[in-house]
Structure 1
Amino acid sequence: MSQPMGGVKDLLKVPGLPQLFLWSMLGRLNVSALPVALALMLVRWSNSYVIVGLVGCALTLGQGAAAPLRGRAADRGSTGRLLMITGIGYATGLGVIVALAATVPASGWPVVVAVALVTGLSAVPVSQISRAVWPKIVGAELTPALYTAEATASEVITTTGPLLAAAVIAVAGPFWAVGVTGLLALVSALVFAAALSRVGLGGEPLPQHGKRVARRSLLAEGPFVRVVAIALLVTAAIFAVNLSVVAWTQNMGRPALAGVLTAGWTLGSLAGGFALSTFARGMPRTPRVAGMAVGIAALAVVLPPILDTVPLWLVIVVLFLGGTAIAPTLAATYEQIAEASPQDRRAEAFGWMAMATTGGGALSMVLSGVLLDSFGPALPVAAGAALVVVALVLTAFGRTPRIPSTDTVEEATA
């Protein structure tokens, strides 16, 4: 039986947590704002969506590939220093991309791709670090509530970022929007580092005198790999739904509806996260994942070619109801990652999760595109539901995650 979960009111009473949580969310705003700003800037520069895709892919690959390394650096060194270095590096990289797009012809796109890859390697690990430190701040009893709050608030950030980018583009243009995104990444990284320092988590880890740690790879732990696989499958399903909804509105000749439908999906997630933290404390993880599978499967049923004509309101209702399981499912994934990793390696663990979800999202986009071209939006959404069913099986029948042991060896003394 799960322990009762504390609510939002309990979290607000934790000293320093509200401010730290706020800055951790603002530190991710640049992530959701950048794709819109960067895509519009690059297409205006090159007049080629292929180049937009190549640059975006290089940036994403860099972010995913370096995520475990950034996490390991956070576990073993000063998180404040890491945030400062990556913030400067990431903002500088975006600034170089803007400068290149403003001064060189489109034939120089390979240089921009290379710079994007390096920039991705310097991505600021705000989400990794925050998810790793939450259990240290609130303890085991409130950790599930905090992960639910994070998954819910992340939906707000995902929606707000593109709106911020669109506002800057409308006022000053896409080149300025990318620059503002880089500046936002730098400032939020520095402020988040300062907030961590105020709660005593911004410095070097405590040394282990007389011992050296023999570290096994986290990927050698079966329960940890299983949870990472669950995160990959869930993320791939979300990407499949998002792309399919956009494609459906494009095929209808009403692309503006994509924003309305995505808003319904997001509002459902917000409602689900609020309900979980307020009325359904301690809900087991398996029903959460099952709810997500059912919601996505229901969406597949009301999309072409299964149904050629369907009232728009019905699609919005299905998206909203299906979305209510998103934040609870993501929160369950965060909880399991934390449970399956040692306390002093949680930033690395969430780095592996970030790498898996980045790869899962990229692969899902490719496969969903193929299915969309061949069969229409219902099939990629159904494939997404099938992925969540696999995640459900792994959640329901996998071994309970345990904290891997860390072997220590006494150092020779003089």
Structure 2
Amino acid sequence: MVGPYRGLFSTRGAKSFVLAGFVGRIPISMLGIGITLLVHSITGSYATAGAVAAIVSLAFAVAAPLSGRLVDRFGQARILVPFVLVHGVALSGMMLLAHAHAPIWTLFASGAIAGASATSLGSMVRARWSHLLSDSGKLHAAFSFESVADEVIFVTGPAFTAVLATSVNVYAGLIVVVVLTVGGTLAFALLKGTEPPVVRHRENKGSPIAIPGVALLSAVMLAMGAVFGCVDIVTIAFAEEQGNKGAAGFLLAAISGGSMVSGLWYGARSWKIDLRSRLVRGLIVFVAGFTPVLLMGGLPAMAVALFFAGLAISPTLITTFSLVERLVPAAQLTEGMAWLSTSIGFGVAVGAWAGGHLTDSYGASNAYGFAYACALLAMLVGVAGSSWLRTPVASETRS
């Protein structure tokens, strides 16, 4: 299984930017649960906690395409440094406001700034791989590795945050988020040797979202993001209903663990079927795998169900990024990938908001139904519009 990944790190500068990017991305999995636990601790409401977490995701979703376009125009380092510094200050301000028992609106305001100043570091790591690798097989392995790295982050991050918040201090998780985000992102930005050059083009090209295939994939990611946002909130409440709130992180790690295992397997295979067919199959498996989650009533059974629910996530995300890499011109690659991130962000915001309200009104077990409905919607949209992905437009040369 490790064969296809073995040669990746002989690529010039790969080890450094992969490590820095990994550190800078670890907080992705910690931020939502850290904010949820903090706000719930001072308000006692999952609806309010979910709403604050949703504002952060929503602000990121709105700003991500803009930051992606700025990166394509000016380069990664010139945009990352000021953005991450503002992000760190905004998260620190949110914690200080919570500690001072400031009005709730101030948490929403600081959360909006924190979300808007967050950057899609994973897209920039993938853009570096795309710049350095011309072989499609190696690029498939690289994208698969990055998705597996994301899942390692989502396996460890929620559990680590939950343990810090419940065993050490409710602020501890977000403090770690600030340190890792700022440190990792600055280190990544300083690695100029592997940074993709700014590609100048004379013609006035519109946004990548105008490409039908990119619009379709963004819609699918919007629905999948709603699944992720809902599951994050509802799983915390489910663990509390079962009398063990600290188990929430381990339940969330279970779904990421399933995704990590399938991602390793998926990236190690040499596929003969096209990307479109792989996306359709992945979405169908995603819905089928999520169905048992609706029927579970205890922590051990739910952990197993969430593991199987996660099996289709990583292959679907890998395929989606690979399709965008083929659909979008090189000069707009970061913005194109950012549209996937922004769609997931919008979905997470909707899912977190809906999950919080449904949990408060109907209980956690019933609230999982919203996540299932969103998974079903992602499948229906992907299957119905898959003809737009049948013959992807060839990318411009990425050399």
TM-score (norm 1): 0.81
- Match for residue 262 of structure 1 among 249, 252, 266: 252
- Match for residue 149 of structure 1 among 145, 149, 152: 145
- Match for residue 66 of structure 1 among 63, 67, 82: 63
- Match for residue 297 of structure 1 among 273, 284, 288: 288
Q: Distance in 2 between matches of 1:96 and 1:49?
A: 21
Q: Distance in 2 between matches of 1:148 and 1:314?
A: 29
CA apart distance, 1:43: 4.0
Q: Does 1:109 align with 2:104?
A: yes
- Match for residue 7 of structure 2 among 10, 26, 46: 10
CA apart distance, 1:329: 0.8
Output the amino acid matched with 2:142.
L
The 1:289/1:235 distance shift into structure 2, 3 A limit, reads farther
Q: Distance in 1 between matches of 2:49 and 2:368?
A: 27
Q: Does 1:124 align with 2:115?
A: no
1:221-236 matches, within 5 Å, as 221-236=211-226
Indicate if the aligned counterparts of 1:33 and 1:162 stay in contact, CA closer than 8 A: yes
1:137-186 CA-to-partner distances (Å, cap 9, x unmatched) read: 12242211111111111011112223443455467623354333222211
Give the structure with the higher percent helix.
2
Q: Distance in 1 between matches of 2:254 and 2:58?
A: 30
Output the amino acid matched with 1:222.
P
- State the match for 2:24 in structure 1: 27
1:15-414 matches, within 5 Å, as 15-46=12-43, 49=46, 51-103=48-100, 105-106=101-102, 108-141=103-136, 142-166=138-162, 168-169=164-165, 173-195=169-191, 197-201=192-196, 205=198, 207=200, 212-240=202-230, 249=239, 252-253=242-243, 255=245, 258-281=248-271, 284-285=274-275, 286-287=277-278, 289-301=280-292, 303-304=294-295, 316-367=303-354, 376=366, 379-394=369-384, 396-399=386-389, 400-402=391-393
Indicate if the aligned counterparts of 2:147 and 2:263 stay in contact, CA closer than 8 A: yes
Q: Distance in 2 between matches of 1:200 and 1:221?
A: 26
Indicate if the aligned counterparts of 1:292 and 1:329 stay in contact, CA closer than 8 A: yes
Q: Distance in 2 between matches of 1:248 and 1:118?
A: 30
The 1:73/1:267 distance shift into structure 2, 3 A limit, reads same
Indicate if the aligned counterparts of 1:37 and 1:177 stay in contact, CA closer than 8 A: yes
Q: Distance in 2 between matches of 1:82 and 1:172?
A: 35
Indicate if the aligned counterparts of 1:71 and 1:351 stay in contact, CA closer than 8 A: yes
Q: Distance in 1 between matches of 2:185 and 2:293?
A: 43
The DSSP-based 3-state class of the residue aligned with 2:294 is: coil
Greater Cα offset, 36-45 or 77-86: 36-45
Q: Distance in 2 between matches of 1:44 and 1:253?
A: 16
- State the match for 1:410 in structure 2: none
CA apart distance, 1:11: 1.2
Indicate if the aligned counterparts of 1:33 and 1:165 stay in contact, CA closer than 8 A: yes
CA apart distance, 1:404: 7.9
The DSSP-based 3-state class of the residue aligned with 1:324 is: helix
Output the amino acid matched with 2:127.
A
Output the amino acid matched with 1:401.
P
Q: Which runs of 5+ in 2 are unaligned?
A: none
Output the amino acid matched with 2:328.
S
Q: Which runs of 5+ in 1 are unaligned?
A: 406-414
Instruction: Please give the root-mean-square deviation of Cα atoms over the aligned residues, in Å.
Output: 3.3
The 1:317/1:95 distance shift into structure 2, 3 A limit, reads closer
1:103-145 CA-to-partner distances (Å, cap 9, x unmatched) read: 4x43x33233222212222113312322223211122422111
Q: Distance in 1 between matches of 2:246 and 2:171?
A: 23
Greater Cα offset, 343-352 or 272-281: 272-281
CA apart distance, 1:86: 0.9
Indicate if the aligned counterparts of 1:11 and 1:146 stay in contact, CA closer than 8 A: yes
The DSSP-based 3-state class of the residue aligned with 1:303 is: helix
CA apart distance, 1:364: 3.2
The size of the alignment, in residue pairs, is 389
Indicate if the aligned counterparts of 2:156 and 2:253 stay in contact, CA closer than 8 A: no
Q: Distance in 2 between matches of 1:193 and 1:68?
A: 19
Identity within the alignment, %: 25
In our comparison, the structure showing a higher alpha carbon Rg is 1
Q: Distance in 1 between matches of 2:216 and 2:383?
A: 11
The 1:180/1:117 distance shift into structure 2, 3 A limit, reads same
Output the amino acid matched with 1:131.
R
Output the amino acid matched with 2:219.
A
Q: Distance in 2 between matches of 1:243 and 1:109?
A: 19
The 1:29/1:140 distance shift into structure 2, 3 A limit, reads same
Q: Distance in 2 between matches of 1:324 and 1:80?
A: 35
Greater Cα offset, 233-242 or 330-339: 233-242
Q: Distance in 1 between matches of 2:163 and 2:237?
A: 24
Greater Cα offset, 333-342 or 386-395: 386-395
The 1:250/1:113 distance shift into structure 2, 3 A limit, reads closer
